[in-house]
Amino acid sequence: MQTNRTTLASIAQALEISVSTVSKALSDSPEIGVQTKKRVLEYAKANNYTPNSFASSFRKGTTSTIGLIIPNILNPFYAKVLVGVETYLDDNGYKLITSISNDLIEKETKNISVMSSGFVDGLIICISKEAEQKKKYQHIKTLLDNGTSIVMFDRICDELECDKVITDDFQAAFDATEFLIKNRGCKHIVITSKMNNLHHLNLRQKGFEAAIEKHKSIVKCTVITDERSKGLKQKLKELLKKDTSVDGVFGLNEKSVLHAILLTNKLQKEDSNISIAGFCNEMQLKYDASLIVINQNAKEIGKEAAKLLLERIKSKDKTSFRTKTIAVNL
Amino acid sequence: MQTNRTTLASIAQALEISVSTVSKALSDSPEIGVQTKKRVLEYAKANNYTPNSFASSFRKGTTSTIGLIIPNILNPFYAKVLVGVETYLDDNGYKLITSISNDLIEKETKNISVMSSGFVDGLIICISKEAEQKKKYQHIKTLLDNGTSIVMFDRICDELECDKVITDDFQAAFDATEFLIKNRGCKHIVITSKMNNLHHLNLRQKGFEAAIEKHKSIVKCTVITDERSKGLKQKLKELLKKDTSVDGVFGLNEKSVLHAILLTNKLQKEDSNISIAGFCNEMQLKYDASLIVINQNAKEIGKEAAKLLLERIKSKDKTSFRTKTIAVNL
DNA sequence: GTGAAAGCGCTAACAG
DNA sequence: CTGTTAGCGCTTTCAC
């Protein structure tokens, strides 16, 4: 905030009328005479008055600002969600405060509490990996109890009563796997799994397994497990070198898909051909026809989350929470 | 903001003391007796009082919030800048409001004016392509005249008096091109140019040309121009197919680098080998050793911008603006 | 038509 | 040690 800004009071003083008259004139209230309106408008313009919307928000008790908490903006999935949220909010006259949790409960908690202490009318959250793995939701629960409107997306928690937006992870993984089998004729598909207790990754793996199970007569699969990413990569590399029967890879997340691409790109000889499918939002990969990308419609998720939130805020209702499932496409 | 929240007033009333006593007790002021503090603290906790920092900001006239305006969050360069900004601000107790201009003056103007109407203490801006190309800076200038603290980065404008953070585009392009020539032994380098009147792209091209000029006895270059991206891609494709002497490509921006990679990947036979250099921030590309990436240190840019801004806000000084140049590395 | 006054929740002089 | 008071800039009754 700057010094010497034109305010309602300064206009009122200069024009020798009252503050409330100025206020009404500026908002084009029918109560005010045409003459007066004109004078006020002219003076305001000449002194480039800009209303202090912070004060106005304060007075009205709502800020027209929404808080978004995501784990990582460099992951294009979250970046796209942000775009979806921002676009929808902007179209509806809302602002966006963003916080990046880096998958840490501590930062998440801190920023959530700052935001919800009056700065935002509601929150859109994808909880941190740490919170999900340790099942620590108390910081969210407290807010909810406090009456804050919250929409969760992607990583959700059943015990929290709020609106939610999710991807149908099971179905998406199932479809993509089946596509590998049916349309690409894969006979041996590899999946890398981190066993990291993340709800939606588990669902994806189950979807993959269900598809394999369904077609077990014509396809086999190898599951590589390791606790660390590096280990997974290493094992995958060795497997691909050793076992040339592998003709498909399924990536459970952004990273594993990218890694699979890089690995196969290097190994790929004229004769071999490995198909890759998986969850991936990198823009430029769409050029690569050999890849089956599960498009999570991240922007759509963001838009839906924002929509649910604004509806929730506008209705006083604090019950009947909805969970929206956003379809994927391959 | 919710109903029925515990406030200073409600605590004061319940405990039959004054609001200011409560306020001081809560901020652990030495003026208040231990007894009273204890009572207040206990009551506050029991009724999970959370201070309304929005009101506090309003009273104090500063919001501890910074606004960031970027053209596009899906461009990893800007995403990384955001991370740099957010991290620095968070470490210093500031919040971040983000707005995405989509390279449109209209949206940029609108959001800037909302933000600066009391919501933020200062602004970090990369102006929209539209504003830069049409040289329309009035919306920024107005703010500056108003006394708003602004830091510009990446796309800057000499006539605007404010702090700036930039990449040494000329030098970076020069170095990368020279690297192609000296270390990769390139003899024929192609560059695609859009002639789009963007200051830093022009600088990059000049840097490229200077390096070619310096080594003109051993290297030649082909410049492909077109007004549209598609045209550039098409022409590049044709050239690569036709002229097999091309052994280097220089990409002026994210998109052109990515496209060059995809093109050469497809064309590349065992015998040919085209080196690519350029400005690119995609994370996963670092795995590709054949690529010479100009690392703009985007996080560093964000951090510096945030730092300059906070310093500017804290000092009352409104002169002696600084321009910081962030070094690149290959 | 216009204005006076109250107040959003909090802070910070200034008194006692 | 504790309380009174006066706002921050704006909106909104309610009076005139």
Decide: residue B283, CB within 10 A, 0-12 exposed, 13-18 middle, 19+ buried: middle
Which of A111, A113, A284 is closest, CB to CB, to B258? A284
- Judged by average pLDDT, the poorest of A214-218, A223-227, A257-261, B282-286 is B282-286
Q: Which two tokens stand for residue A262?
A: 């890089």
Is B177 in the same domain as B140? no
Most confident of A314-328, B248-262, B294-308: B294-308
Task: Please report the pLDDT score of residue A38 as a whole number.
Answer: 94
CA of residue B88 to C1' of nucleotide C5, angstroms: 44
C-alpha to C-alpha distances, A270 to A6, A81, A266, A273, B268, nearest whole angstrom? 72, 38, 12, 8, 12
β-partners of residue A69 are A99, A125
Please tell me which of the candidates A55, A99, A282 has its beta carbon nearest to residue B118: A55
The answer to whether position A56 is within a domain reads no
- How much of chain A, in percent, has pLDDT values that exceed 70? 94
- Whose structure tokens read 């590096």? A230
Q: Are residues A144 and A193 in the same domain?
A: no
pLDDT for the residue A179: 86
B299: confidence class by pLDDT, cuts 50, 70, 90: very high
What pLDDT is attached to residue A182?
Answer: 86
pLDDT on residue A270:
46
CA angle A274, A275, A278 (to 5 degrees): 135
Q: Does A231 touch chain B (CB under 8 A)?
A: no
Nearest nucleotide by C1' position to the B5 CA atom? C9
- Is the residue at B16 inside a domain? yes
A2 lies in a domain?
no
Of A218-232, B42-56, B205-219, which gets the smallest average pLDDT? A218-232
| pLDDT at position B130 | 93
- Rounded Cα–Cα distance for residues B311 and A21 (Å): 40
Residue B29's nearest nucleotide, by CA–C1', is D1
- Positions 23-52 of A with beta carbon below 7 A from strand D are 23-24, 26-27, 51-52
For residue A116 the two structure tokens come to: 């919800």
Give yes or no for a contact between B239 and B188, defined as CB atoms under 8 angstroms apart: no
Using DSSP, state whether A102 is helix, strand or coil: coil
pLDDT at A30 over 60: yes
| Residue A285 pLDDT exceeds 60 | no
Give CA–CA dist B223/B219, Å, rounded: 13
Grade residue B196 by pLDDT with cuts at 50, 70 and 90: confident
pLDDT in tens, A172-205: 889 888 888 888 888 888 888 777 777 888 888 8
Mean pLDDT along residues B297-314: 94
Number of compact structural domains in chain A: 3
Residue B146: predicted pLDDT: 82
In chain B, helix, strand, coil percent, each to 5?
Answer: 50, 15, 35
Mutation site for A-interface testing, chosen from B3, B66, B80, B98 by largest number of A Cβ within 10 Å? B98
Q: Are B125 and B144 in contact (CB under 8 A)?
A: no
Burial (CB < 10 A; 0-12, 13-18, 19+), residue A304, is: buried
Q: What is the pTM of this model?
A: 0.85
A255 and A308 assigned to the same domain: no
Same domain, A219 and A279: yes
Dihedral sign, CA of B154, B155, B159, B162? Answer: negative
Which of A169-173, B68-72, B145-149, B189-193 holds the top average pLDDT? Answer: B68-72
Compute chain B's Rg from CA coordinates. Answer: 26
**Are A53 and B111 in contact, with CB atoms under 8 Å apart?**
no
Contact A73 B50 (CB under 8 A): no
What pLDDT, on the 0 to 100 scale, is given for residue B300? Answer: 94
Residue B100 sits at the chain A interface (C-beta within 8 Å):
yes
Q: What would the pLDDT profile of B15-70 be if each residue is shown by its tens digit?
A: 999 999 999 999 998 989 899 999 999 999 999 899 999 999 999 999 999 999 99
- Confirm whether B19 is domain-assigned: yes
Nearest to B168 by CA among B154, B147, B179, B178: B154
A182: tokens are 């049916």
Query: What is the C-alpha to C-alpha distance for residues A138 and A155, in angstroms, rounded to an integer?
Result: 15
Chain mean pLDDT for chain B: 87
pLDDT value at residue A108:
93
Residues 119-178 of A with CB under 8 A from B: 119, 121, 142, 146-148
pLDDT score of B3: 60
Residues B228 and B258 in one domain: yes
Helix (H) or strand (E) holding A96: strand A95-100
Per-residue model confidence (pLDDT) at position A267: 65
**Is A319 part of any domain?**
yes
Mean predicted confidence (pLDDT) in A295-307: 92
Q: Are residues A30 and A146 in the same domain?
A: no
Note whether A267 contacts B: Cβ–Cβ < 8 A: no
Q: Does A106 touch chain B (CB under 8 A)?
A: no
What pLDDT score does B330 carry? 76
Question: Residue B3 domain-assigned?
Answer: no
Nucleotide nearest to A21 (CA to C1'): C2
> Do residues B317 and B280 share a domain?
no
Q: Does the pLDDT at position B143 exceed 50?
A: yes
Tokens of B95: 């919040």
Q: Which whole-number Å values give the CA distances from A17 to A25, A297, B101, in the listed order?
A: 11, 55, 39
CA–CA min distance B78, chain A (Å): 10
Give residue B2's pLDDT: 53
Same domain, yes or no: A306 and A288? no
Same domain assignment for residues A107 and A174: no
Query: If we measure between CA atoms, which residue out of A151, A121, A158 comes closest to residue A307?
Result: A151
Mean of pLDDT over chain A: 86
Q: What is the DSSP letter of A329?
A: B
Name the burial class of residue A204, with classes exposed (0-12), middle (13-18) and buried (19+) by CB atoms within 10 angstroms of its CB.
Answer: buried
Query: Any idea what the CATH number is for the domain that residue B286 is in?
Result: 3.40.50.2300
Q: Which domain holds residue A27?
A: 8-51
CA distance B296 to chain A (A): 15
- Are A218 and A266 members of one domain? yes
d(CA B15, CA A243): 75
Residue A153 pLDDT: 95
Considering the domain architecture, whether residues B43 and B22 belong to the same structural domain is answered as yes
Nearest-CB residue to A117 (from B51, B62, B119): B51
* Interchain proximity B83–A95, CB inside 8 Å: no
Residue A83 to residue B100, Cβ atoms within 8 A:
yes
B287/A100 CB distance under 8 A: no
Position B164 confidence tier, pLDDT thresholds 50, 70, 90: very high
Q: State mean pLDDT over A250-269.
A: 73
Query: What is the residue type of B253?
Result: N
pLDDT at A3: 60
Tell me the mean pLDDT in the region A262-273.
63
Residues A166, A153 contacting (CB under 8 angstroms): yes
What is the C-alpha to C-alpha distance for residues A187 and A219, in angstroms, rounded to an integer? Answer: 4
pLDDT single digits (tens) B75-109: 889 999 999 999 999 999 999 998 999 999 999 99
A143 and A96 together in one domain: yes
A15-24, B255-264, B279-288, B293-302: segment of lowest average pLDDT: B279-288
> How many other C-beta atoms lie within 10 A of the C-beta of residue B179?
17
Q: Is residue A3 part of a domain?
A: no
- Residues of A within 8 A of B116 (CB-CB) are 50
Tokens 């000499």 belong to which residue? B158
Asked whether residue B56 is domain-assigned, the answer is no
| Residue with nearest Cα to nucleotide D8 C1' | B59
For tokens 């994370």, the residue is: B283
